[in-house]
Amino acid sequence: MTKREIRSEEPPPLGGDWFTLYALVVLYLLVLIALFAWFTQANTPEATP
Amino acid sequence: MSAWDWAVLASWLSFTILYGLYRSRGKQTTQSYLLAGKSMPWYAMGLSIMATQASAITFISTTGQAYVDGMRFVQFYFGLPLAMIILSMTAVPLFHRANVYTAYEFLEQRFDRRTRILVSIVFLIQRGLGAGLALYAPAVVLSVVLGWPEQVTTLFMGLLVIAYTTLGGVKAVTWSDVQQMLLIFAGLILALVLAVVRLPEEIGLLDAVALAGAAGRLNAVVTKFDWNDRYNLWSGLFGGMFLALAYFGTDQSQVQRYLTGRSIAQSRLSLLFNAMAKIPMQFFILFIGTMVFVFFVFERPPLLFQPADLKNLEREPAYSSVVRRFDEAHQVRRESARAYLEARKRHDPAGQTKALRTYRQAQASLDQARAEAARLLGAGPDTNYIFLNFVIRYMPVGVVGLIVAVIFAAAMSTISGEVNSLATVTVMDVYRPLVKSGATDSHYLWASRGATIFWGLYAVAFAGFGGRLGSLIEAVNIVGSLFYGGMLGVFVLAFFFRFVGAQGAFWGVLAGEAAIFYCWRFTSISFLWYNVIGCLVVIAVGCLLSLTRLRRSSAV
């Protein structure tokens, strides 16, 4: 599907357009991975001082 | 279980089945039975997609996985949101516009009937196996809770699902899934709260997190790349994305959920809802498993969580020596855990390091004793029994019934979706084109009901093998990965490679499956990569064959 075809379709029921929504989902995934990486780092202590 | 637990469980089972049937009332046609008359809103499809994917296995096996291996399993889902976006842009509009009952019907429109039937058969084999495994998991629950044989409980569960799926069709399945998913969310929150509340009084949530982390159980992200390591960031992002693309884009049990949408936009939103909700949910379930781990740092865990294995072990001559080492290691782990927390509170790095070393050594000794106990019996992993053991022994009256109901809800939502999709593919992709074309709508409706009963009984029969497959969540994903790469490859060819014809697609699928089975039998490559390898082989072979044919025909 071309970008134009997607833009011409029914917009998301919650407003905005599909590409913005997809970008938000990718951003959300990156934030989750960053949070989990921090969570791992912060809670896995080394046995050596 | 107490009478209250039974009352909670029975009420839930009756309510969910009756509610599903109530929502599917009215005159049925084949389209309303298999596609809900394309009337579903996004939130119902989204919850149904999640419920179909979140089986009882997710509940009982994922928590156990976190107990023994930590949280790194969550990375398996990192590729899912990317897959949901790709499918929203490609598969959803194409399937909707093609106005198909199944994803494989689309393959006939794009290639030929032979490819459609080949891929349908691959789906029937792998999803049939998956349905059996999904049914086996709650049988494990009941066999632990009631002491019933697993075969009896498998049959009981199977008949319940067959009843409402056969009578109500996809509408009953979807609306029951909505209720079941809401109960699952509630049950998850309750399980976590109670796991933390049951810790010793002086141990707070932050202390519990510190102890889980000190034992290496909070390893949610592993950045080191290794082909043979099942769960790391890269296998999750790439392998997981391919697996999710295959599962949600080519597996009829998922495709059928969003084909019921009233529009392309509604179907897309249902997938994006899943993209947002799935990772936090899995993280939450794994976190419950780590809290159960911390609970058993202070409370003596059983040497083996499988009750029957433990009983058999007690008769072994070496039992007393293994259990003595286990008890000693547990005591050392408990004391060093307290010492570690106290050193943290005093801000004493030397004390922390010392306690941490002892804590980890004790953990290794405990793991060794458990492994030796399992070796003595020749028993498989007891991962699937850990959470159940905790629920039954330490949860209050009523809550046990509720958690068991959650496990049932998860199982029933998965099996009903799978049986419903297996029946749809059997009738629409095999029976109608090959056995009886041009019959009346009512004939196909009854054929669909018959196929639903057949696949329900097939799942019951296959569930008998579930106990031999180790961690069920992994078994399900491995079985899926053996077939999904080939299925995904052919749909990628259909969507993106317009020059590829029927010959290329057909032989491409066979070559892709051969490559996957070779990797499985003769290499140590982690199963998540099978999807990538299989898909790429299908694309390569499909393109090569089609290009060769094009060159030949242009030369002529």
Residue B309 — left, alpha, or beta (φ > 0 → left; ψ -120 to 50 → alpha)?
alpha
Of the partner residues B218, B263, B272, the one whose CB lies closest to the CB of residue A40: B218
Q: What's the CA gap between B384 and B136, in Å, rounded?
A: 11
In this complex, do A36 and B220 lie within 8 Å of one another by their Cβ atoms? yes
Average pLDDT of every residue of chain B: 87
CB neighbour list of residue B542: distance below 8 Å, 6 or more residues apart: B489, B490, B493, B497, B500, B504, B505, B507, B508
Q: Which residue of B has its CA nearest to A48?
A: B353
What average pLDDT score do residues B252-275 get?
A: 91
Q: Is residue B422 pLDDT above 70, yes or no?
A: yes
Q: In this structure, what are the phi and psi dihedrals at residue B40, rounded to the nearest 5 degrees?
A: -85, 140
Q: Which tops the pLDDT comparison, B553 or B261? A: B261
In this complex, do A32 and B279 lie within 8 Å of one another by their Cβ atoms? yes
Q: How far is B283 from chain A (nearest CA, A)?
A: 9
B contacts of A25 (beta carbons < 8 Å): 81, 84-85, 272, 275-276
Of the partner residues A29, A36, A43, the one whose CB lies closest to the CB of residue B81: A29
ipTM summary value: 0.86
B interface mutation test: which of A8, A21, A36 has the most B CBs within 10 A? A36
| Tens of pLDDT, residues B437-449 | 888 989 999 999 9
Tell me, what's the pLDDT at B141?
Answer: 65
Tell me, what's the pLDDT at B470?
Answer: 56
Tell me, what's the pLDDT at A49?
Answer: 44
Q: Which residue of A has its CA nearest to B360?
A: A47
> Which sign does the torsion angle of CA B171, B176, B179, B184 carry?
negative
Q: How far is A9 from chain B (nearest CA, A)?
A: 8
Tell me, what's the pLDDT at B21?
Answer: 79
**Any chain A CB within 8 A of the CB of B232?**
no
Q: Please report which confidence band the pLDDT of residue B509 belongs to, taking 50, 70 and 90 as the band edges.
A: very high
Q: What's the CA gap between B373 and B369, in Å, rounded?
A: 6
Strands (E), B270-311: none
In this complex, do B265 and A47 lie within 8 Å of one another by their Cβ atoms? no
What average pLDDT score do residues B493-503 get?
A: 92
Q: Which of A6-10, B48-52, B165-169 has the lowest mean pLDDT?
A: A6-10
Q: Is residue B381 pLDDT above 90, yes or no?
A: no
| Tens of pLDDT, residues B301-348 | 999 888 888 888 888 888 889 999 999 999 999 999 999 999 999 999
What average pLDDT score do residues B36-42 get?
A: 83
Q: State the SS3 of B374-442.
A: HHHHCCCCCHHHHHHHHHHHHCCCCHHHHHHHHHHHHHHHHHHHHHHHHHHHHHHHHHHHHHCCCCCHH
Q: Is residue B512 pLDDT above 70, yes or no?
A: yes
